[in-house]
Amino acid sequence: MKHFFPTIAALLLAFPGWAAGNEPVELTLEDCLEAASRKNPIVLRALEEIDAAGGIRLQALSDALPQISGEADYLYLDRIQEYRVEGERIPLGRHDNYSLGVTVEQNLYQGGRVLAGIKAASLYNDYADVFFREALGEVSYRVKEHFYRLLLQEGIVAVRRDTVEHMKDYLKITEDRYNQGTASEFDLITARVRLANSRPPLIEAENRVDIIKTSLLREIGSKAEEFTVSGELEYRPFTAPLEDLNRITLESRPLLRQVALEEDIQEQSLRAARAGYQPRFSLFATYQGQRPKTGLPPEDRFEFEWLAGARVRWSLFDGLMTPGRVREERARLNQARIETEDTNRTVLLAVKQARLDIEAARRAYLSQRETVGQAEAAYRIARVRWEKGISTSLELTDAELNLSEARVLADEALAAYRISLAGLERAVGLPLEEIEYLLEQ
């Protein structure tokens, strides 16, 4: 923990701002992750939680430290009593009365409430730390998901755009052949229809790019109007036994530590509530002065004196406040225990689901990659046949569309695979490199 806050400060100062002006910004995945660690609302709220933990700790310590208070009073007396002695009137007071005082009080025992509060505050400090790390993990997953989807969608746009351009070329060649009498009207109409049908998927893909870009900008907390992403979807083999992944998760996932700390904090809250049944002891000392000074007649000056003592307070009946608080805190503790058990099951289920998603996406990608090879071979054959005039443009455009769809499906499977790997990182609570390192141990 002693190195945690300097690390955060360095992180907040490390990443430079976006390029000046309206020039498009090129972002890598690392750029997006770093920007999100500084500006994402979830991360910013987690940082404020760390600051709040420091404030809670100060509040808890305050009960163990001396309490110093000062007071000042002014009292005006309309009528002043007098004392007669041998015909002379002696006033027993003055119209203007002042008093000043400073009191120091030190709590010695409050039924265990102070100690429980300090322990709870220390636990909350650790809670804020793991809360921040859990937030970073969640934000990292969301950034990677949007980044991979954006790469995928930009690739789909490129494929759709190539298809449209190819359909334009086919239409032009078909029109030339039709004018020469070597192509039928059916071929011409089919080429026009294929071109028209290829444009809506391109428009849809371009719209999805804009939507995903907007979502990514929100995650990284940027207001850049124009930006591009730099990177590519790469296949990275990964396999691991579920038992080993579960073991690493139970040791590493911040969320599991978070709910465990919530349970510990609630135990201290229950102890603090039970302190209401116990007596409270404290020592106090007061330095106070009054004007006028007492005497006959009272002198018009301050008179100061020290007072010291011990104080015992024991609430014999507080209107059922303490029993009610104890009952509430005990129920909260039971809720925390239930939450701990449920979170453990949920996290392990998420690990299992992520592993299944990885395997399904891997098999889909490898299968679709073979399909792309077959579609490329079919397209090459169809192209040769068409150029030699032994097939129609319908056969060629069918091969072209089949190749485009195969490439799109392969890219979608690869993007799903990379997103599944990111989902495993979130479920385990560690980057993939650290997971692989721990699996080798």
Does 296 have pLDDT greater than 80? no
Residues 350-362, buried b or exposed e (16+ Cβ, 10 A)? bbeebbebbeebb
- CB neighbours (10 Å) of residue 267? 19
At 23, the pLDDT band (50, 70, 90 cuts) reads low
How buried is 15 (Cβ within 10 angstroms: 0-12 exposed, 13-18 middle, 19+ buried)?
middle
Does 332 have pLDDT greater than 70? yes
Question: CA-to-CA distance for 53 and 261, rounded, in angstroms?
Answer: 13
At 15, the pLDDT band (50, 70, 90 cuts) reads very low
Does 7 have pLDDT greater than 70? no
Residues 62-83 have a mean pLDDT of 88
Mean pLDDT (the chain) is: 87
CB 421 within 8 A of CB 348: no
Does 167 have pLDDT greater than 80? yes
Continuous segment of H or E residues that includes residue 214:
helix 185-220
Question: CA-to-CA distance for 38 and 30, rounded, in angstroms?
Answer: 13
Question: CA-to-CA distance for 429 and 133, rounded, in angstroms?
Answer: 9
Does 393 have pLDDT greater than 90? no
How buried is 159 (Cβ within 10 angstroms: 0-12 exposed, 13-18 middle, 19+ buried)?
buried
Residues 426-441 have a mean pLDDT of 91
Strand partners, 309: 284
Backbone angles phi, psi at 224, to 5 degrees: -60, 130
Question: Using the 8-state DSSP alphabet, how is residue 320 labeled?
Answer: T
Q: Is 178 helix (H, G, I), strand (E, B) or coil?
A: helix
At 111, the pLDDT band (50, 70, 90 cuts) reads confident
At 22, the pLDDT band (50, 70, 90 cuts) reads low
CA 105 to chain centre: 42
Give the tens place of pLDDT for each residue, 400-409: 889 989 999 9
The dihedral built from the CA positions of residue 181, 185, 187 and 190, taken in this order, carries a sign that is positive
**In Å, how far are 64, 145, 217, 267, 275 from 123, measured between CA atoms?**
17, 33, 35, 11, 19
What letter represents residue 52's amino acid?
A
Q: Is 306 helix (H, G, I), strand (E, B) or coil?
A: strand
Does 69 have pLDDT greater than 80? yes
CB 125 within 8 A of CB 54: yes
Structure tokens of 155?
């690739």
At 60, the pLDDT band (50, 70, 90 cuts) reads confident
Domain regions of the chain by residue span: 4-63+110-277+322-440, 65-109+280-313
Does 44 have pLDDT greater than 60? yes
Does 294 have pLDDT greater than 80? no
**Helices marked H in 309-392 — which ranges?**
321-387
CB 198 within 8 A of CB 171: no
Does 14 have pLDDT greater than 80? no
Question: CA-to-CA distance for 235 and 238, rounded, in angstroms?
Answer: 9
pTM of the model: 0.80
At 136, the pLDDT band (50, 70, 90 cuts) reads very high
Does 350 have pLDDT greater than 80? yes
Strand partners, 96: 76
Q: What does the pLDDT read at residue 144?
A: 94
CB 160 within 8 A of CB 203: no
Question: CA-to-CA distance for 49 and 136, rounded, in angstroms?
Answer: 13
Q: Mention the CATH class of domain 4-63+110-277+322-440.
A: mainly alpha
- CB neighbours (10 Å) of residue 244? 13
Give the tens place of pLDDT for each residue, 190-212: 889 989 998 999 999 999 999 99
- CB neighbours (10 Å) of residue 7? 9
Residues 333-358 have a mean pLDDT of 95
Q: What does the pLDDT read at residue 9?
A: 40
Q: Where is average pLDDT lowest: 21-35, 143-157, 231-245, 337-351?
A: 21-35
At 95, the pLDDT band (50, 70, 90 cuts) reads confident
- CB neighbours (10 Å) of residue 340? 16
C-alpha radius of gyration, the chain, whole number: 38
The dihedral built from the CA positions of residue 217, 219, 220 and 221, taken in this order, carries a sign that is positive
Residues 6+ apart with CB under 8 A from 1: 125, 126, 129
Q: What does the pLDDT read at residue 20?
A: 44
At 19, the pLDDT band (50, 70, 90 cuts) reads very low
